[in-house]
Chain A
Amino acid sequence: MQSAAGISQENLKVISRYHKTEVEMLAEYEIILQAKTDPGKFSTLYDTYYEPIFRFVYQRMDDKEKAFDITSQVFLKALTNLHRYEFKGVPFASWLYRIARSEVYQQFRQNKASRTVNLESVHLNQLTEELEENNLEEYRVKMLKALKELEEEDITLVEMRFFEKRPFKEIGEILEITENNAKVKLYRVLDKLKRKLLKHKTVPDE
């Protein structure tokens, strides 16, 4: 089932696990402190974040089994390095996402492979609307082409905002930039996309 925003209910639930009130974040931090001395206590965090982290990893690759392997690696790394974790007023998930991101890229580097950007048509339509283009079908092919031409850093921002539906605050926390910086960067990418689309309007498809 899709929500009005074009994202499945399941994904909404998963993403909502990231958002925490201050009290929830601090309560989570208590669990982390306990897990630092008693690794068994980490199970609560594992249960909460397993699915979001898997989806984050799998979003960026094709191989489902590999995605499960990497998810396991992410949690092993998190548990092993938990003693270094310091609470900085942001959800614990942002730390896990950063580990996941690093693991995914390491995997690509090792295998000399390129990463995948998975998207649903509905997301593509929303992106097209964002660029104030009306003829969705006409622009679908052109949009895919334009997206492929983006730099990795740029597509990451588009992916997080439009395909994963993350708020700017969260994007900033995962990419370790400010919320405002995330906004500015994304709008620059959208400008870039617009220019590319214009270029593709004038250049016939091969």
Chain B
Amino acid sequence: MKTFNIQPDRQPISPEEINARKKFNSLLKQYQTKVNVSKPAYKTTIVKGVAVLTTITVITTVSVWSYRSNSHAEKTSAQSRTEQVSVKKPEQVKKPVKKSVVAPPIKGVTVKRNAYTINASKGGTVRHNTGTKLVFPKNAFADKNGKDVNGDVEIKYREFHDLADIIVSGIPMRYDSAGKMYHFESAGMMEVLGFKGDEQVFIKPGKNVLVHMASANGESRFNLYSLDTVSGKWEYKGKDKVTRNADNTRAFGDRSENKITKELFDKEAGMTGVDSEKLEIQNSSASAAPVKPRKAGSSKYRFDIDFDKTEFPELGNFDGLQFEVDEKQEKFNPSVFKVEWEDIELLQANKSGDTYRVRVKKGKHSAEFDAYPVVEGKNYSHAMDEYAKKFDAYKKEVEKRKEKDRLKKEELEAKLALYKKERAKVLEKENQTDLAEIGYGNSSLTYLRVFQISGFGIWNCDNPLRYPTGRNIMARFVDEKGNQVRIPNNLYLVEDGRNAIFSFPAPAGNIKEFRYDPKKENMVWGINENGELITLERKELNAVPGNAKEYTFNMKKCDAELKTVGDVRKYFGLIKDEKS
């Protein structure tokens, strides 16, 4: 059966003509559109009934911040800071617990957490054995439902300073900045978690923890980042400040075993108490101003919501309160008003409190838009009168507080000066301590990196780096038998003298562009498909001929028994002789 035509000797087409039609950006745009369109969105809802939302009566429960329930310890970490999700009904919390990206690569080897106790109502200071201090303000904790936590809270803390710490931690050290991939060089990293019994607790919005983290690096080129352990993304949080760590002699040892006098401990406790109080002043200064009423009529989309006034006290005094849609927002699609939605939620939208996020739902479909509260007619005049009174009272209260804070600060500064003087005297005696006896490997934590954190999780003082330069070859990695090694996660390159880990995705054991600096002492390591540590001997990288474009490297399976971070440190040659 003839299903084709035969055409001989057609005019040939040149490669130039073909390649001139390449449009990758256009392809990418089409792809993104396609991907976005395939996601369910309220725009695709089939609307049966048409009703305007103006008179829908809805019971609205509002989220303040509620948190996913997490059990203790290893579920861990930064699943906390990213968890400010709203909860309307208990069943809405039934989301699967997402897996943390933090996966220690060497079974059974990890940096241990130290546990400390803080009184939630009074606040207090955690003092780690490296000289790190964490100053918690009073009333800083909330549980997963957003309720204040009282009584003792257990703080679990650990920190990571050298390559061995970072390697065993399994914390990803890649940083995506506007689509460009970087690799972190760390000046110190820490994980801090809070628990009340077995339940994880959270730091309340507006409360900050003052951190003085011990560090071996005093350079100012490092930034502060926090890790979202679910997405694996680092978020830039600003810069830290660097000071000397007067307490560095106690690096990495049990404080009680070191030659620390009780006298010094007491003086320091006094100082950090002052820090805590100062911080409390900073935190308490921010008092919310009353919301100024807006006159109805600037938007054609207006509706009522019957909400729980105890959840929104700032709206409680407005009679005849309605909401108008902020039509300027890009997200708003007027077709949302053509749907008879089954459910509506009112959420706090912005810090100034004048705009609220409204979420509507019907079946699987939902939409969100911003709206602001309005009143009209006599109600507006009445609301303005109320506002003027409240604003006046607010101004007076602010002035009063400012004066009180100023006096308190003066008093604290004087106390601090006294403590410092006394502490210096004690330190003079303490300086007799043998540094080598209790030091941290070859590096001492001579500095303190000072910053504030707004939540529990993993925080890192980092400098983003690109891949090393010098050599760029196509690399193939094989095992002792010459078989290609399979590496489910990344292959890592580390250089002596630089606290950085460069990651290369190489699931099939190949790296098309393996970049390294041949002038450095490099190490390569990874975990194979059987979960075994494989490494490349340092001499292997040095053996690559200068003109090689491709090279096959023989990875060696680790035959040493690695039980502690110290073992790892020794195995990688990061320390020559350590008592661990």
The reply to whether B27 and A68 form a contact with Cβ atoms under 8 Å apart is no
Say yes or no for B8: interface residue by CB 8 A criterion: yes
The reply to whether B5 and A54 form a contact with Cβ atoms under 8 Å apart is no
CA distance A34 to B15 in the complex (A): 28
CA distance A75 to B22 in the complex (A): 11
CA distance A120 to B12 in the complex (A): 10
The reply to whether B1 and A151 form a contact with Cβ atoms under 8 Å apart is yes
Given the interface pairs A115-B3, A149-B2, the reply to whether A79 lies near B27 with Cβ below 8 Å is yes
- Determine how close the nearest CB of chain A comes to the CB of B524; give it in whole angstroms: 16
Contact among A34, A43, A58 with B24 in the assembled complex (CB-CB below 8 Å): A43
> Inside 8 A of A76's CB, which chain B residues have their CB?
27, 30-31, 34
> Which residues 135-164 in A have Cβ within 8 Å of B in the complex?
144, 147-149, 151-152, 155
> Inside 8 A of B28's CB, which chain A residues have their CB?
39-40, 42, 79
> Which residues 497-538 in B have Cβ within 8 Å of A in the complex?
505-512
> Which residues 1-46 in A have Cβ within 8 Å of B in the complex?
8, 10, 13-14, 23, 26-27, 29-31, 33-34, 39-40, 42-43, 46
> Inside 8 A of A31's CB, which chain B residues have their CB?
512
- Determine how close the nearest CB of chain B comes to the CB of A29; give it in whole angstroms: 5
> Inside 8 A of A33's CB, which chain B residues have their CB?
505, 507
> Which residues 139-187 in B have Cβ within 8 Å of A in the complex?
179
Contact among B6, B31, B179, B512 with A148 in the assembled complex (CB-CB below 8 Å): B6
- One digit per residue, 1 when the CB lies within 8 angstroms of any chain B CB and 0 when it does not, for chain A 103-120 equals 000000000001111111
Given the interface pairs A147-B6, A152-B4, the reply to whether A39 lies near B31 with Cβ below 8 Å is yes
CA distance A173 to B418 in the complex (A): 82
Given the interface pairs A31-B512, A64-B13, A116-B7, the reply to whether A23 lies near B505 with Cβ below 8 Å is no
Given the interface pairs A76-B34, A144-B6, the reply to whether A46 lies near B508 with Cβ below 8 Å is no
The reply to whether A121 and B22 form a contact with Cβ atoms under 8 Å apart is no
Which residue from chain B places its CB closest to the CB of A145 in the assembled complex? B6
Say yes or no for A47: interface residue by CB 8 A criterion: yes
The reply to whether A51 and B7 form a contact with Cβ atoms under 8 Å apart is no
Say yes or no for A99: interface residue by CB 8 A criterion: no
- For B5, B34, B484, the residue with the greatest tally of chain A CB atoms inside 10 Å of its CB is B5
The reply to whether B5 and A117 form a contact with Cβ atoms under 8 Å apart is yes
> Inside 8 A of B23's CB, which chain A residues have their CB?
72
- For A10, A27, A51, the residue with the greatest tally of chain B CB atoms inside 10 Å of its CB is A27
CA distance A34 to B30 in the complex (A): 19
The reply to whether B7 and A117 form a contact with Cβ atoms under 8 Å apart is yes
The reply to whether A47 and B9 form a contact with Cβ atoms under 8 Å apart is no
Say yes or no for A50: interface residue by CB 8 A criterion: yes
- Determine how close the nearest CB of chain A comes to the CB of B17; give it in whole angstroms: 9
- Determine how close the nearest CB of chain B comes to the CB of A60; give it in whole angstroms: 8
CA distance A26 to B10 in the complex (A): 37
Say yes or no for A80: interface residue by CB 8 A criterion: yes
> Which residues 279-294 in B have Cβ within 8 Å of A in the complex?
none
Say yes or no for B476: interface residue by CB 8 A criterion: yes
Which residue from chain A places its CB closest to the CB of B14 in the assembled complex? A10
Which residue from chain A places its CB closest to the CB of B23 in the assembled complex? A72
Say yes or no for B18: interface residue by CB 8 A criterion: yes
Say yes or no for A187: interface residue by CB 8 A criterion: no
The reply to whether B18 and A46 form a contact with Cβ atoms under 8 Å apart is no
Say yes or no for B550: interface residue by CB 8 A criterion: yes
Which residue from chain B places its CB closest to the CB of A52 in the assembled complex? B18
The reply to whether B4 and A27 form a contact with Cβ atoms under 8 Å apart is no
Say yes or no for B35: interface residue by CB 8 A criterion: yes
The reply to whether B506 and A46 form a contact with Cβ atoms under 8 Å apart is no
The reply to whether A26 and B484 form a contact with Cβ atoms under 8 Å apart is yes
Say yes or no for B378: interface residue by CB 8 A criterion: no
Say yes or no for A101: interface residue by CB 8 A criterion: no
The reply to whether B24 and A46 form a contact with Cβ atoms under 8 Å apart is yes
Given the interface pairs A40-B179, A50-B22, the reply to whether A23 lies near B510 with Cβ below 8 Å is yes
Given the interface pairs A62-B7, A115-B4, A119-B8, the reply to whether A30 lies near B24 with Cβ below 8 Å is no
CA distance A9 to B557 in the complex (A): 47
> Inside 8 A of B22's CB, which chain A residues have their CB?
46-47, 50
Which residue from chain B places its CB closest to the CB of A45 in the assembled complex? B24
Which residue from chain A places its CB closest to the CB of B510 in the assembled complex? A26
The reply to whether B8 and A55 form a contact with Cβ atoms under 8 Å apart is no
- Determine how close the nearest CB of chain B comes to the CB of A54; give it in whole angstroms: 5
The reply to whether B3 and A152 form a contact with Cβ atoms under 8 Å apart is yes
CA distance A50 to B23 in the complex (A): 10
> Inside 8 A of B1's CB, which chain A residues have their CB?
151-152
> Inside 8 A of A115's CB, which chain B residues have their CB?
3-5
Contact among A30, A42, A51 with B505 in the assembled complex (CB-CB below 8 Å): A30
> Inside 8 A of A55's CB, which chain B residues have their CB?
13, 18
Say yes or no for A85: interface residue by CB 8 A criterion: no
> Inside 8 A of B329's CB, which chain A residues have their CB?
none
- One digit per residue, 1 when the CB lies within 8 angstroms of any chain A CB and 0 when it does not, for chain B 458-485 equals 0000000000000000101000000010
Which residue from chain B places its CB closest to the CB of A67 in the assembled complex? B13
CA distance A40 to B34 in the complex (A): 15
Say yes or no for A124: interface residue by CB 8 A criterion: yes
- Determine how close the nearest CB of chain A comes to the CB of B168; give it in whole angstroms: 26
> Which residues 47-100 in A have Cβ within 8 Å of B in the complex?
47, 50-51, 54-55, 58, 62, 64, 68, 71-72, 75-76, 79-80, 87
The reply to whether B31 and A80 form a contact with Cβ atoms under 8 Å apart is yes
17 residue pairs A–B, Cβ–Cβ below 8 Å: A13-B15, A23-B474, A23-B476, A26-B476, A27-B511, A29-B507, A30-B511, A33-B505, A40-B28, A40-B179, A43-B24, A50-B19, A72-B23, A75-B27, A80-B35, A116-B7, A124-B8
Known: A114-B4, A119-B8. 11 other contacts (CB 8 A): A10-B15, A14-B15, A30-B508, A55-B18, A75-B27, A76-B34, A79-B31, A117-B4, A117-B7, A121-B9, A148-B4
A residues neighboring B (CB under 8 Å) = 8, 10, 13-14, 23, 26-27, 29-31, 33-34, 39-40, 42-43, 46-47, 50-51, 54-55, 58, 62, 64, 68, 71-72, 75-76, 79-80, 87, 114-121, 124, 144, 147-149, 151-152, 155
